[in-house]
Structure 1
Amino acid sequence: MMPRDNMTSTVQKIAKQALVTFRNPSIVGEHNKVFLENQSKLKNLLAEVRAADLKIVPRSVESASMMPPQRLAPPVTYMHIYETDAFSMGVFLLKTGASIPLHDHPGMYGMLKVIYGKVRISCFDRLDKPREGTSGVVQFNPPLMPFQRSSLRPSVLRSVGEYTEDSGPCVLSPQKDNIHQIDAVDGPTAFLDILAPPYEPDEGRDCHYYKVLHAHSEAADRNSEAQEQGDRWLMEIPQPSEFWSGGEPYPGPKVSL
């Protein structure tokens, strides 16, 4: 039997609410009142979590510098906490200067809550087609090969924000802020991460990486409003060679659902 302190721990409560929120796919959606109420409860629980609740000691720049050389140690590590068919939960730890490159979460919801340090999150939305006033002959410098053009996706930069442990969670959905990049700012950082449902390549939920391209066209030049709103082109690329991740044991209260 699980110890009572584990059953009443913050992470147990978060996991329980995540299961309630995401376990029934038929009600998961931005237009379902029950789902939105459950999602709001989960967001409120996440807003309160701190590193101490997970028994994670924040790492300083000094302690990070004592780790093995950067070329040998992964820039990002992951602590697995719990996973079901409905959601996965864990902690990502980023070393000083580390970044999780621009990537997507196909058909997935997500919540990210910083537990120490600071991150900068740049969020993009994919567009079905270039917005009115931005079409026309698009030029890239350097020019792209035909096979590269086939992997281009019109997108818009929705937001760039910085988050600390005092910030509320960053929330993504299948339609909004689904593509994002996460950068450590001013030292090591860590965040609790929930994805629903988890990545599953066999079901079309695989992680893809992207590069931002800045295009030039006469139509876009005439439409300064679209430029200011952040219209971009994303090109799918292989996982960047400078990014890889490792694993660490999770030291906090266990979860049981």
Structure 2
Amino acid sequence: MMPQDNMNSLIQRLARQALATFRNQVSEDSKGFMENHSKLRNLLAEVRVSDLKIVPRCVESSCVPPQLIGPPVTYMHICETDSFSMGVFLLKHGSSIPLHDHPNMYGLLKVLYGKVRVSCYDRLDSSPDSASGRPFNPPLLPFQKSAVRPSVQRSVGEYTEESPPCVLYPQRDNLHQIEAVDGPTAFLDILAPPYDPDDGRDCHYYKVMQQVPEGADRRAGGQEQTELWLVEIPQPSDFWCGAEPYPGPKVTL
């Protein structure tokens, strides 16, 4: 039987709310989902590194480069159901999670210590030769052009432990890159539903190939957005993710 303090821990309550939010999700616009999603964001905003019993890593800029001391990124698994997964990513000084997607998935991240820079992109609903009515002539072989997507950079934001959660949606801010800024960092991560290649939810990596010529910028919500080309690539050779044990309160669902 789970100890009483674990049953009432913030991470346990957060997991229960994530389950309530995503287990019976019908529509992003439904009142019930929006209310549960708001409760989940509010709970996530309360989480601090001490709640998970994680000790922050060194913050000096002179830390050893990550490639010399193992994987640049490690992951602490907390829990997973058919509806969501939850864990902690730890990024070493100078490391990043490359530009990637969460196909048809929601994402929420809350920084526990340090600072991250999150760059978000959206695909545009057009073929490579039709975006902005401009020709597409990047230095690619013909077979590679099928992997190219006209896209737009929606935002670049920096987050610390004092910041509200960063929220990603199935059709908005779904492609993103996460970089450690000025030292090591860690963030609590919720994905809903979890990755599942058999159900069309595999992780894909991308590279910014070419910015659409000047004058092709779009505006959305009153903000200028820069169009660019993204090409799907294999997982970058300098990125891999290791694992380490999660030291905090256990979660039972």
Structure 1 and Structure 2 fold alike (TM over 0.5): yes
Q: How far 1:45 sits from its partner (Å)?
A: 0.2
Distance 1:222 1:162 in 2: 27
Distance 1:50 1:79 in 2: 15
1:80-123 CA-partner distances (Å, limit 9, x unpaired):
00000000000000000000000000010110000000000000
Aligned residues: 249
Q: What residue in structure 2 maps to residue 13 of structure 1?
A: 13
Question: Does residue 101 in structure 1 map to residue 98 in structure 2?
Answer: yes
Q: What residue in structure 2 maps to residue 149 of structure 1?
A: 145
Unaligned runs of 5+ in 2: none
Q: 1:180 and 1:223, CA in 2 relative to 1: closer, same or farther beyond 3 A?
A: closer
Distance 1:4 1:32 in 2: 34
Distance 1:16 1:63 in 2: 38
Letter paired with 2:140: L
Q: How far 1:63 sits from its partner (Å)?
A: 11
Q: How far 1:148 sits from its partner (Å)?
A: 1.5
Q: How far 1:133 sits from its partner (Å)?
A: 7.1
Question: 2:78 pairs with 77, 81, 86, which one?
Answer: 81
Q: What residue in structure 1 maps to residue 46 of structure 2?
A: 48
Letter paired with 1:16: R
SS in 2 for 1:230: strand
Unaligned runs of 5+ in 1: none
Letter paired with 1:199: Y
Aligned pairs (5 A) from 1:162-177: 162-177=158-173
Distance 1:199 1:230 in 2: 29
Alignment RMSD, CA only?
Answer: 2.2
Q: 1:133 and 1:48, CA in 2 relative to 1: closer, same or farther beyond 3 A?
A: same
- What is the TM-score of this pair, normalised by structure 1? 0.91
SS in 1 for 2:126: coil
Letter paired with 2:136: V
Question: Does residue 111 in structure 1 map to residue 78 in structure 2?
Answer: no
Q: How far 1:229 sits from its partner (Å)?
A: 1.4
1:124-176 CA-partner distances (Å, limit 9, x unpaired):
01111169871231233xx2211111110111100000000000001111101
Q: By percentage of residues, which structure has more strand? A: 2
Letter paired with 1:41: K
**Contact persistence 1:103–1:208 (CA under 8 A):** yes
